[in-house]
A and B are shown apart, each in its own frame.
Chain A
Amino acid sequence: MSDVSKIMFVMRKAPYGTIYSFEGLETVLIMGAYEQDVSLLFVDDGVYSIKKGTDTTPLGIKNFSPTFRVLEGYDIEKLYIDKESMDSRGLTLDDFVVEPEVLDKEQIAKLMEEQDVLFPF
């Protein structure tokens, strides 16, 4: 096994109904400092985590979607999105604060197979 682990974060849940996504992102930011091969995958309602123009003011909760934009500064450049999750919610790449690579289910399965660690959030 090499010194660098392949770590994938799977963002599965809507960003503001529960804390999973927010605390998941906190973990991503910490692990970014450990010089591992980190990637993020957005699936299911997790695709809303990176949606542009969300107004969380009525909720009284801080909008953390823009934080996904700083990941590049942490050398986390591998962002992926599940095509079916995106399409079924009527979203396109123009709707996001970052530019994830669009993958189908087979490509995602292959990518997951290559990982040493998967973190579902």
Chain B
Amino acid sequence: MKFAVLVQEGPYHHQSSDSAYQFVTAAMDKRHEIIGVFFYHDGVINSSKLADIQADDRNITKRWSEVGEKGVDLVVCIAAAKRRGINDDVLAPGFRISGLGQLTEMAIKSDRLVTFGA
């Protein structure tokens, strides 16, 4: 099945980016296709490489970058990013900034769009 994923909440603050990551990796393990992960609202903060995470905690941004390395498109909404101080200078590997049109494409092209948020 072709999945698209929408992440609406910031990392560490909320479970949603953890749950989205677990979903994405589990789906890939079962040979489903993830056509993209779209980061919206505070979800855009998942893409910041400026976070400095303690060694005994999971590194949420790094985990997403690893997902990106496997060829999954990680798209950060430009409008939401601008409001929250996220731009290309702070973007971790594997992420790209683009518009809500990308979310539209994901919604149309996927078999299921799965939202992780409040």
Contact = CB atoms under 8 A, between A and B. Distances in A.
Nearest to A3: B108
B95 interface: no
A43 interface: no
Interface in B1-39: 6, 8
What does DSSP make chain A's interface, helix, strand, loop or mixed? mixed
Interface string B82-118: 0000000000000000011101100110000101011
A5 B40 contact: no
B100 A20 contact: no
A31 interface: yes
B80 interface: yes
A10 to B, nearest CB: 10
A19 B118 CA distance: 12
B35 to A, nearest CB: 13
Contacts of B115: 118-120
The contact size tier of chain B is 10 to 19
Contacts of B6: 119
Interface residues of A, number: 17
A120 B117 contact: yes
Nearest to B84: A19
A19 B41 contact: yes
B63 to A, nearest CB: 24
Interface in A17-38: 19-20, 23, 26-27, 30-31, 34, 36
Closest 7 CB pairs of A and B: A30-B100, A117-B107, A5-B108, A34-B104, A31-B104, A117-B113, A27-B100
Interface of A: 5, 7, 13, 19-20, 23, 26-27, 30-31, 34, 36, 116-120
24 contacts: A7-B107, A20-B41, A23-B41, A23-B80, A26-B100, A27-B40, A27-B103, A30-B99, A30-B100, A30-B101, A30-B103, A31-B107, A34-B101, A34-B104, A34-B108, A36-B104, A36-B108, A117-B108, A117-B113, A118-B115, A119-B6, A119-B107, A119-B115, A120-B117
